[in-house]
Chain A
Amino acid sequence: MTGFPILSLMLLVPFVAAIACFFVEAKLARSIALVATLINLVLGVVLWANFDIGGDQWQFTERANLFAGFQWSLGIDGIALMLIMLSVFLMPICIGASWTSINKRVGEYMAAFLFMEVLMIGTFAAQDLFLFYIFFEAGLIPMYLIIGIWGGDDRIYASYKFFLYTLLGSVLMFIAMLWMANEAGTTDIPTLMQYDFPAGAQTWLWLAFFASFAVKMPMWPVHTWLPAAHVQAPTAGSVILAGVLLKLGGYGFIRFSLPMFPEASAQFMWLVFSLSMVAVVVTSLIALVQHDMKKLIAYSSVAHMAIVTAGLFAFNVQGIEGAMMIMLGHGLVSGALFLCVGVIYDRLHTREIDRYGGLAINMPKYALFFMLFTMASVGLPGTSNFVGEFLGLAGIYKMSSTVAFVCTTGIILGAAYMLYLYRRVVFGEQKNADAAAMPDLDLREWLMLGPIAAAVLWMGVYPESFLAPMRSDIAALETRLSRAVPAGDANLEIGEPAPAEEVADHGGAH
Chain B
Amino acid sequence: MDLMSSIGLIIPELILSVSGLVLLLVAAWGGNDAAKPVSIAACIALGGAFFLVAPSVCAGASGPDTLAFYGQFRADAFAGIAKLMIYAAAGAALVVAPAYFERLNAMRPEFAILVLFAALGMSIMVSAADLLTLYIGLELNSLAAYVLAAYLRDDDKSAEAGLKYFVLGALASGILLFGMSLVYGFTGTTSFTGINAAIAGGLSGGQLFGLIFVLAGMAFKISAVPFHMWTPDVYEGAPTPVTAFFASAPKVAAVALLARLSLEAFGSQAAAWQQVVTFAAIASIVVGALGAIGQDNIKRLLAFSSINNVGFILIGLATATLAGASAMLVYLAFYVAMTIGSFVAVLMLKDADGNALETFGDIKGLSTTNPALAWCLLLIMFSLAGIPPLMGFYGKLVVFQAAVQADLLPLAVIGIAASVIGAFYYLKFIKVMFFDEPVDRVQGTSDWSHWALLVISTLVISPIAFLGTEWLGNLTDMAAAALAVAG
Q: Which residues of A contact B (CB under 8 A)?
A: 22, 65-69, 105, 108, 130, 133-135, 137-138, 140-141, 144-145, 148-149, 155-156, 159-160, 163-164, 167-168, 171-172, 174-175, 178-179, 181-182
Contact = CB atoms under 8 A, between A and B. Distances in A.
Contact of B469 (A22, A67, A179): A67
Given A66-B470, A163-B427, A148 B435 contact: yes
Q: Classify the interface of chain A: helix, strand, loop or mixed.
A: helix
Given A66-B470, A68-B469, 9 more contacts: A108-B371, A148-B434, A149-B435, A159-B431, A171-B416, A172-B417, A175-B404, A175-B409, A182-B401
5 contacts: A141-B387, A149-B435, A156-B435, A175-B412, A179-B404
B467 A67 contact: yes
Please name the 5 residue pairs, one residue from A and one from B, whose CB atoms are nearest each other, closest first. Answer: A68-B473, A134-B388, A68-B469, A178-B404, A171-B416
Nearest to A105: B368
B405 interface: yes
A134 to B, nearest CB: 4
B420 A137 contact: no
A178 B434 CA distance: 33
A343 B367 CA distance: 29
A178 B400 contact: yes
A164 B419 CA distance: 11
B231 to A, nearest CB: 25
A179 B387 CA distance: 19
B83 to A, nearest CB: 22
A69 B416 contact: no
A313 B375 CA distance: 43
A163 B470 contact: no
B413 A148 contact: no
Contacts of A174: 400, 416
Contacts of A160: 424, 427, 431
A137 B424 contact: no
A135 B435 CA distance: 24
Nearest to B424: A164
A155 B434 CA distance: 12
A69 B472 contact: no
B413 A175 contact: yes
B354 interface: no
Contacts, number: 92
Interface in B431-460: 431, 434-435
A168 B404 contact: no
Given A67-B467, A69-B473, A140 B416 contact: no
B420 A168 contact: yes
Contacts of B397: 69, 130, 178
Given A172-B413, A175-B400, A138 B389 contact: yes
Contacts of B416: 171-172, 174-175
B290 interface: no
Nearest to A70: B397
Contact of A171 (B409, B419, B430): B419
Nearest to B467: A66
Contacts of B367: 105, 108
A175 B399 CA distance: 11
A167 B400 CA distance: 16
A182 B397 CA distance: 13
Interface string B416-429: 11011001100100
Nearest to A180: B404
Nearest to B472: A68
B178 interface: no
Nearest to B385: A167
Pick from A155, A159, A160, A171 the residue with the most CB of B within 10 Å.
Answer: A171
B434 A149 contact: yes
Contacts of A145: 434
A7 B413 CA distance: 34
Given A145-B434, A171-B420, A175-B404, A140 B470 contact: no
- Range of interface residues on chain B? 35 or more
Contact of B412 (A164, A167, A178): A178
B466 A167 contact: no
B281 to A, nearest CB: 15
B382 interface: yes
Nearest to A104: B368
Given A69-B398, A174-B400, A175-B412, A148 B431 contact: yes
A155 B436 CA distance: 11
A7 B163 CA distance: 59
A439 B357 CA distance: 50
Contact of A69 (B375, B401, B419): B401
A149 B405 CA distance: 41
Contact of B389 (A69, A134, A149, A159): A134
Residue among A105, A145, A159, A174 with the highest chain B CB neighbour number at 10 A: A174
Nearest to B435: A148
B73 interface: no
Contact of A156 (B375, B409, B423, B431): B431
Interface string B447-487: 00000000000000000001101101110000000000000
A179 B404 CA distance: 6
B401 A178 contact: yes
A108 to B, nearest CB: 8
B393 interface: yes
A84 B282 CA distance: 40
Contacts of B401: 69, 178, 181-182
B470 A67 contact: yes
Contacts of B400: 174-175, 178
B423 A167 contact: yes
A159 B435 contact: yes
A159 B424 CA distance: 11
Given A179-B409, A182-B401, A137 B466 contact: no
Given A130-B397, A155-B435, A138 B387 contact: yes
B212 to A, nearest CB: 30
A279 B413 CA distance: 29
A164 B385 CA distance: 11
Contacts of B409: 175, 179
A135 B470 CA distance: 20
B377 to A, nearest CB: 13
B370 to A, nearest CB: 14
Contact of A141 (B382, B404, B473): B382
Nearest to B420: A168
A163 B435 CA distance: 15
Contacts of A67: 466-467, 469-470
A429 to B, nearest CB: 41
A296 B246 CA distance: 53
A394 B311 CA distance: 52
A149 to B, nearest CB: 6
A142 to B, nearest CB: 11
A134 B465 CA distance: 14
A64 B382 CA distance: 27
B434 A137 contact: no
Contacts of B417: 168, 171-172
B44 to A, nearest CB: 33
A174 B393 CA distance: 11
A140 B467 CA distance: 23
Contacts of B388: 133-135, 137-138
Nearest to B406: A182
A144 B427 contact: yes
Contacts of A164: 420, 423-424, 427
Interface in B276-310: none
B253 to A, nearest CB: 25
Contacts of A105: 367-368
Contacts of B427: 144, 160, 163-164
A402 to B, nearest CB: 35
Contacts of A133: 388
Contacts of A69: 397-398, 401, 469, 473
Contacts of B466: 66-67
A215 B232 CA distance: 36
Contacts of B413: 172, 175
